[in-house]
């Protein structure tokens, strides 16, 4: 197993797919915060927001 290749793969997946998806789809533009319950296409199926995700999103975006 090539660890450098694996590192690049994970980094690319995170920065090219995961972060843009959550940044584009999870923000609640009306009330603030982040939606937790999204389907694979980014459609919100439950508007409840959970504190653990609010903290995780803030931490993730602030570390980028």
What DSSP string runs through 7-49?
A: HHHHHHHIIIIIHHHHHHHSB-TTT-SB--EE-TT--EEE---
| pLDDT over threshold 80, residue 1 | no
Q: What angle do CA 21, 63, 32 make, to 5 degrees?
A: 55
pLDDT at residue 28 in the model:
96
- 3 forms beta bridges with none
d(CA 24, CA 26): 6
pLDDT at residue 13 in the model:
97
pLDDT at residue 64 in the model:
86
pLDDT at residue 3 in the model:
93
Ranges of each domain in the chain: 3-63
What is the per-residue pLDDT across 7-63, written as a single tens digit (0 to 9) for each? 999 999 999 999 999 999 999 999 999 999 999 999 999 999 999 999 999 999 898
């Amino acid at each position: 197993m090539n660890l450098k290749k694996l590192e690049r793969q994970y980094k690319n997946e995170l920065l090219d797919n995961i972060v843009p998806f959550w940044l584009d789809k999870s923000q609640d533009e009306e009330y603030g915060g982040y939606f937790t319950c999204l389907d694979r296409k980014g459609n919100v199926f439950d508007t409840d927001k959970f504190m653990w995700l609010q903290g995780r999103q803030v931490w993730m975006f602030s570390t980028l």
